[in-house]
Copies of this chain bind each other. A is one copy, B any other.
Amino acid sequence: MFLPRQVHLTLPPWVDELVDDTRRFVTDEERVGLAVALAARNIEHGFGGPFGAAVFNADGRVVSVGVNRVVPQTCSVAHAEMLAYMSAQQRLASYRLNAAGGRYTLATSAQPCCQCYGATMWAGIDELLIGARSEDVEALAHFDEGPLPTDWIGELEKRGITVRRDILRAEARAVLADYGARGEVY
């Protein structure tokens, strides 16, 4: 039979160089700063959208990271946040990161699109930290962010997920602008 039965997604090898595993990322700015650094490096390498994300545990250690891998993986699902969630869940062997207790944070360089927004509901995080806004993504990098529920923050908070945004927004916008200036959308 011909049916594909496997999906294999990878992150680029350079993520290892970028992340210091001895470091505790304590403040919101340190955490979003790593996500923005991942986004910047991803476009330097010229092989993906200008987006980065990372999952942190309560101690501020990095559990996983993600960058946009839509083009190299030919996979519309392979957004930074999705890779960060999936690889953290495989590492912890739990389909809900906080199922066994502990608090988990996702930091992302830009507001999640409609897909990553929905995925955030089920991933088992307690905090969502956002750099650039959707309007920045659309104006500077020319991606469609897709439709969200009107009260998108409230819907996350109802499910126990705190949202803070505009963290290092200027730095996050700069990466989007850099990408947009190249005239690509992927």
Contact = CB atoms under 8 A, between A and B. Distances in A.
B6 A10 contact: yes
Contact of A75 (B16, B90, B186): B90
A121 B149 contact: no
Interface residues of A, number: 62
Contacts of A15: 3, 5
Given A74-B93, A150-B150, A4 B87 contact: yes
Task: Give how many copies assemble into the complex.
Answer: 2
A4 B90 contact: yes
B3 A77 contact: no
Interface of A: 1-11, 13, 15-16, 19, 21, 62, 64-65, 70-71, 73-78, 82-83, 85-96, 113-119, 121-124, 144, 146-150, 152, 155, 159, 186
Given A7-B8, A70-B95, A114-B117, 8 more contacts: A3-B64, A71-B95, A76-B85, A77-B82, A77-B86, A114-B118, A147-B152, A149-B149
17 contacts: A5-B13, A5-B15, A6-B11, A7-B8, A8-B9, A73-B95, A74-B89, A74-B92, A74-B93, A76-B123, A77-B85, A77-B86, A115-B121, A121-B144, A147-B149, A147-B152, A149-B149
